[in-house]
A and B are shown apart, each in its own frame.
Chain A
Amino acid sequence: MIAVDYAARTEARREGGFLDYTLSNQVGLFVVDTEGRLRNVNNRAAAIFGFSDSPDADGRPVSQLEFFFSQAVIERLLRLLSDGEPFTVSCFPGTNLAGHFAYYRLSCNRAEENGRAIGVFGVIEDVSEQARQQQELRSRVDELSTLAQISQVVSSALDTEEVLKVILIGVTARQGLGFNRAFLFLLDDDGKILSGRLAIGPTNAEEAGKIWSSLEHDNRSLSEILSLYQEESERSNRNLTDLIRGTRIDISNGSLFAQAMKNQTPIVVEYDTELDYVTDRILHRLGEKRVAMTPLVSRGKPIGLLVVDNAITRKEITDHDRQFLKLIADQTAAAVERSYLYRDLKDRARELEEINRKLAETQNQIIEAEKMSVIGEITSAVAHELRNPLTIIGGFAHLMYKNLEPGSPDGEYLNIIVSETQRAEAVVTDVLDFSRASKTRDRLLDLNSLVRTALEMLKVRLGQGQCQIQLTTEPFELPLWGNPDQLMHALYQVFWSLIQDLPCEVPRINTFAQDGTVRLEVAFARDGGHQDKVDKVLKQYFCGGSSSKRLSLIVAEETLKHHGGSLTVESNHADGPVLLVLLPLYKEKLNAQNSGG
């Protein structure tokens, strides 16, 4: 190392006024000689390092400044003597000999003479104010960034819940305003009652630590925070929301909540603020008396109230916080209202969809009814046209039969003509009954009543005591919607067909409601001894094709189908094969019965 006579140089420079400059400058200046000792430390630098004055610092080895500089900085500074690479440490924290903490900036250059290093020239500055301003600036940028992100997210969000959640998370996220908890109250449709809707935040310090540490990251976007928040804090948010859920505040009652809404201005409640009864009760419930209330105002009308606090950290709510909160509230209120409109629009669309569905259903019903009406008219016309010829054919055949000589071989044939004509007349009567029934209007019916009436008609046709059907009905009504004549006729034809085809059986009829349908089961005694016959007849009804069915049964089946029902055989039933009539249960009526006890 080259020894330099610093005393001589100092003396020489004093004459040039350099020392005067270094001593008086507000910037800290110092020189490190080739032996690594401080030289020419001006008063500012001495004060920064914590020495009493310039001479106090002079001659001290740089290595002893480790209380101020980190070891790395000291090493870098000493290395500069040999490598000549200038360096700057922009902002570092330091505590000087006097215990004063601040942020500093250090710049170092090698001093040379005739190409030879004679020391290091250093500039040290207290940049605490700049650091504070930078920190402040960073906070503002973070806030504006949060605001921008909130605006961006809510501008594309249409679901009210999502919009509300974004607002509350934006208010509580540490990258944003960083309030501990946020509560949202929304005004009802009448604009009179403020109802607790949603809350976000931890319920205690332990939860806060857990949630906040999981979210701690400088560069997280709001979307990332949103998804993280949902995972981390769902339970605590739910608990917090439960605190305000059910809270209803009349905004005409003069409370602070009401005032904030009415005046459309934020209110900060401090610990010493005198509270009205309503506000006191609600804040007591929230467990924190220092809160900021900010109304959400959209198009000049308040639509809700945002309440925030720092219940966990107890941090003061500053004017700046209040102003920024208002900025967020103003930005987001429009989004909340838009989500309302979207919700209303969705509801309206759903209603229209339902109306369209019902319209299509009604149109189908009208088409079906018209079809049935046309079928009824055609069958009626054909049946009437047939009745006269049948009367004539059967009548003359009967006349000829009466006048035949006893034992004439033609008697049998005439008898056949007479009985077949009567069978054809019975079909005509059935068809005419059906076509007449199709003209009756649909209405609310009871399956039990229809069955009883059909059985009464059967008794009349068979004669009292000849009708052996056993009937078991539910003690309450089995409501259905339909044409009373058509359905009664269909049931009558089902019973009549069974009695005709299974004269030795005793049908057991059971009615009940199940799975949105009203049902009628026709079973037969298992010990009747004619199980094979029952199976055969029922199979013939439904497996043999329409040609093997009675016409009346085809009409009955079509009638049931027209009413949204069916006529089937259940072969795996516990009671053996059963005939099953299904019709849709009329639910409105059933609901009314249930609600009426």
Chain B
Amino acid sequence: MPRILVVDDEIHIRMLYARELEDEGYDVAVAATPEEALRALRVSRPDLVVLDIELEDSNGLDLLNRIRQEFRDLFVVINSAYSTYKADFQTWLADAYIMKSSDLKPLKEKVRQLLTEGACDRTI
């Protein structure tokens, strides 16, 4: 069963995503901070990370950098309320950039695509 780590400082987002992704058949772990996320990455070695950028007191892009240094083959989907970060070249390190929405279909579709079809070109 593919493992997914959801990194978001909003507890209800974490709850929602965990539930939706579990319903899709994934093993889901959640983290509220970069530290928690790194710990989870080292322990549970997930296949994909859903990463928010605006984290409380920290920046998801810094975490993305760390992930790319330590876990090169890990898929990362940026999931942000801000479209402006699309222009930030740091986000190009991720495999996908999906805007936050109550309609989780695009996110789930991208996760499925990455995990089944492998790494593909980053889609904005």
Stretch at the interface among B43-51, B76-84, B112-120: B76-84
Question: For residues 1 through 27 of chain B, which have their beta carbon under 8 Å from a beta carbon of chain A?
Answer: 10, 12-13, 16, 19-20, 23
Question: Which residues of B are found within 8 Å of A425, using beta-carbon distances?
Answer: 101-102
The answer to whether A145 has its CB under 8 Å from any CB of chain B is no
Q: Flag B81-97 by CB within 8 Å of A: 1 or 0 each.
A: 11110000000000000
- Max chain A CB contacts within 10 Å: which of B20, B103, B104? B103
Q: How far is the CA of A425 from the CA of B82 in the complex (A)?
A: 13
Contact between A418 and B20, CB atoms less than 8 A apart: no
A432: Cβ under 8 A from any B Cβ? yes
Complex interface: chain A residues within 8 A of B10 (CB): 388, 392
B100 at interface (Cβ–Cβ under 8 A)?
Answer: yes
User: Is A391 part of the binding interface, using a Cβ–Cβ cutoff of 8 Å?
Assistant: yes
Chain A: interface size category = 20 to 34
Residues of A within 8 A of B20 (CB): 395, 399
Q: State whether B81 touches A422 (Cβ < 8 A).
A: no
Interface of A is mostly: helix
Please give the distance in Å from A393's CB to the nearest CB on chain B: 7
Q: Once bound together, how far apart are the Cα atoms of A402 and B24, in whole Å?
A: 13
Q: Do the beta carbons of B102 and A390 come within 8 Å of each other? A: yes
Which residues of chain B from 65 to 83 have a CB within 8 Å of any chain A CB?
Answer: 81-83
In-complex Cβ contact of A432 among B12, B16, B54, B83 (8 A): B83
A residues in contact with B81, CB < 8 Å: 384, 387-388, 391
Q: Are A391 and B84 in contact (CB under 8 A)?
A: no
B100:A393 contact, CB within 8 angstroms: no
**Which residues of B from 28 to 54 have beta carbons under 8 Å from A?**
54
Q: How far is the CA of A397 from the CA of B102 in the complex (A)?
A: 9
Assess whether B83 is in contact with A422, with CB atoms less than 8 Å apart: no
Total interface residues in chain B, CB < 8 Å: 17
In the complex, which residues of chain B have a beta carbon less than 8 angstroms from the beta carbon of A395? 16, 20, 102, 104
- Report if A436 contacts B (CB, 8 A): yes
Evaluate whether A392 and B13 lie within 8 angstroms (CB atoms) in the complex, with A432-B83, A436-B83 already known.
yes
Output the least CB separation between B14 and chain A (Å): 10
List residues 386-411 of chain A with CB under 8 A from any CB of chain B.
387-388, 390-399, 402
Contacts A398-B103, A425-B101 known; A391 to B83 CB distance under 8 Å? no
A392, A393, A397: residue with the most chain B Cβ atoms closer than 10 Å: A392
Could you tell me the distance in whole angstroms from the C-beta of A360 to the nearest C-beta in chain B? 34
A384 to B53, CA, bound (A): 12
Which of B12, B16, B100, B102 lies in contact with A422, CB distance below 8 A? B102
* CB of A421 closer than 8 Å to a CB of B: yes
> Which residues from chain B contact A392 at a C-beta distance below 8 Å?
10, 12-13, 16, 102
Closest A residue to B83 by beta carbon equals: A432
Q: Within 8 Å CB of B82, what residues of A?
A: 384
CB distance from B32 to the nearest CB of A (A): 14
Q: Across the interface, do A421 and B102 meet the contact criterion of CB distance under 8 Å?
A: yes
Residue of B nearest to A395 (CB): B16
The docked-state distance in angstroms from the alpha carbon of A425 to that of B81 is 11
A398 to B13, CA, bound (A): 14
CB distance from B17 to the nearest CB of A (A): 8
B88 to chain A, nearest CB (A): 13
- List residues of chain B with CB within 8 A of the CB of A432: 83
Contact partner of A396 among B16, B23, B101, CB < 8 A?
Answer: B16
Q: A384: shortest Cβ distance to chain B, in Å?
A: 5
Question: What's the least CB distance linking A523 to chain B, in Å?
Answer: 34
User: A377 CB to closest chain B CB, in angstroms?
Assistant: 12
**B-contacting residues of A (Cβ < 8 Å)?**
384, 387-388, 390-399, 402, 418, 421-422, 425, 432, 436
The chain B residues found within 8 Å of chain A, CB to CB, are 10, 12-13, 16, 19-20, 23, 54, 81-84, 100-104
What are 16 residue pairs bridging A and B, where the CB atoms are less than 8 Å apart in the complex? A387-B100, A390-B102, A391-B102, A392-B16, A394-B101, A394-B102, A395-B16, A395-B102, A398-B102, A399-B19, A399-B20, A422-B101, A422-B102, A425-B101, A425-B102, A436-B84
User: Could you list 8 further interchain pairs (A-B, Cβ under 8 angstroms) beyond the known A390-B102, A418-B102?
Assistant: A391-B100, A391-B102, A395-B20, A395-B104, A396-B12, A396-B16, A398-B104, A422-B101
